[in-house]
Amino acid sequence: MAAPSRQEIFKKVQQALVDALSVEEDEVREDATLTGDLQAESIDILDIVFRLEKTFNIKISQEELTPRDILSNPDYVSNRKLNPAGLAALKERVRHADFTKFAQDPDIDKILDVFTVGTIVNFVEAKLAAAK
């Protein structure tokens, strides 16, 4: 069976977000941030991850999105902010997110703000490709 196209993945991710967040389809655009534009709480992120696992038959560990070994590492974090080494390590690990805005104020409590709908779609697409 052929791998789903990015558009097909987007449609399913969009539906999962509509179901989990009680938002309208037209609010779920590629560039919408989950915690900002769509007002997702951290428990919603967990709910969404579980839904995606079920929909796409993949496993996603929380570590892939918010790696504790970086975010709780005293070599990388002080006063709850990432230092340049920490930020570099994070970018290396979490490939599909755009950290440009986050880099201006790398507060570890705001890490979830990085994730847009597009980031999630990229993430799922890479997972499905890797599974082949």
| Between 53 and 113, CB nearer to other proteins | 53
| Between 29 and 54, CB nearer to other proteins | 54
C-alpha 67/C-alpha 110 separation (Å) is 13
What is the phi/psi pair of residue 129, to 5°?
Answer: -65, -40
**DSSP run (H or E) holding 127:** helix 117-131
Q: How many residues does the chain have?
A: 132
Number of amino acids touching other proteins (CB under 8 A) = 12
C-alpha 113/C-alpha 54 separation (Å) is 24
Residue 49 C-beta: closest distance to other proteins, Å:
9
Residue 42 C-beta: closest distance to other proteins, Å:
9
Q: Would you give the binding string for other proteins spanning residues 40-59, x where CB under 8 A is met?
A: -x-xx-xx--x--xx-----
Confirm or reject binding of residue 30 to other proteins (CB under 8 A). no
Binding positions for other proteins, 4-23, rule CB under 8 A: 20-22
Cα dihedral 47, 48, 53, 59 in deg (nearest 10) = -80
**DSSP run (H or E) holding 82:** strand 81-82
Residue 57 C-beta: closest distance to other proteins, Å:
13
Give the residues lining the site for other proteins (CB under 8 A).
Answer: 20-22, 41, 43-44, 46-47, 50, 53-54, 62
